[in-house]
Amino acid sequence: MHSDDREIIENFRNEATKNKAFNLLIRKYQKRVYWLIRKMVIDHDDANDVSQEVFVRVWYHLEEFRQESGLFTWIYRIATNECLAFLRKKKRRFFIPIHDVEGELSHKINEGNHFTGDEIQKKLQLAILKLPEKQRLVFNMKYFEEITYEEMSEILGTSVGALKASYHHAVQKIQADVTLEERF
């Protein structure tokens, strides 16, 4: 674990420096957590809401953090779980199958209000949305965040081999989807 992470944790456990330490933690990890979530939920407002939930959980559980993994890994595990829980709630709340949630998110990408990338990036994002949640998460973490398989294994509690397979399948599906779209 990085020395500044240890310092943040030590200062968080001290009542006099708790708030300052938490503010440092947020400044350090907020952007990375937001983009991890945003790539999964697409919508800016939803990503902000989920990010807030992540840091509320971090606030309530940081004193219990055992430092067996890195702070970043622990926070990402919380973010991943919150993100997947949000997507499950969204499906249940509206009684819609995953395909319709993908359609809603695709619509948000195509609308242009929530997506600022060029046409190639838009095609990539639309292809990523068609992946199963776990493959989408693994692809985003590896491709965009450049997280190692070992770190992903700690975050997701999945073997490195399974993660490599998920990423490989995700890449194949994305390539097939983009190639198929270009033919029409």
d(CA 68, CA 27): 23
What's the pLDDT tens digit per position in 19-64?
999 999 999 999 999 999 998 888 899 999 999 999 999 999 999 9
- The answer to whether residue 105 is domain-embedded is no
Q: What CATH number does residue 13 fall under?
A: 1.10.1740.10
Residue 100 covered by a domain = no
Q: Does residue 112 lie within any of the structural domains?
A: no
* Inside any domain, residue 102: no
Mean pLDDT of 8-16: 95
Residue 33 forms part of a structural domain: yes
Same domain, 11 and 48: yes
**Does residue 29 belong to any structural domain of this protein?**
yes
pLDDT digits (tens, 9 = 90+) for 109-163: 556 554 455 677 778 888 888 898 889 999 999 998 899 999 999 888 899 999 9
- Confidence band for 89, pLDDT divided at 50, 70 and 90: confident
How many CB atoms neighbour CB 148 within 10 A? 13
Tell me if 5 sits within 8 A of 71, measured CB to CB: yes
pTM of the model: 0.77
Q: Residue 28 sits in which domain range?
A: 1-94
- Is 109 within the bounds of a domain? no
Residue 48 located in a structural domain: yes
Q: Where residue 143 sits, what CATH number does that domain have?
A: 1.10.10.10
**Residue 139 three-state SS:** helix
Handedness of CA 108, 116, 126, 55 (dihedral sign): negative
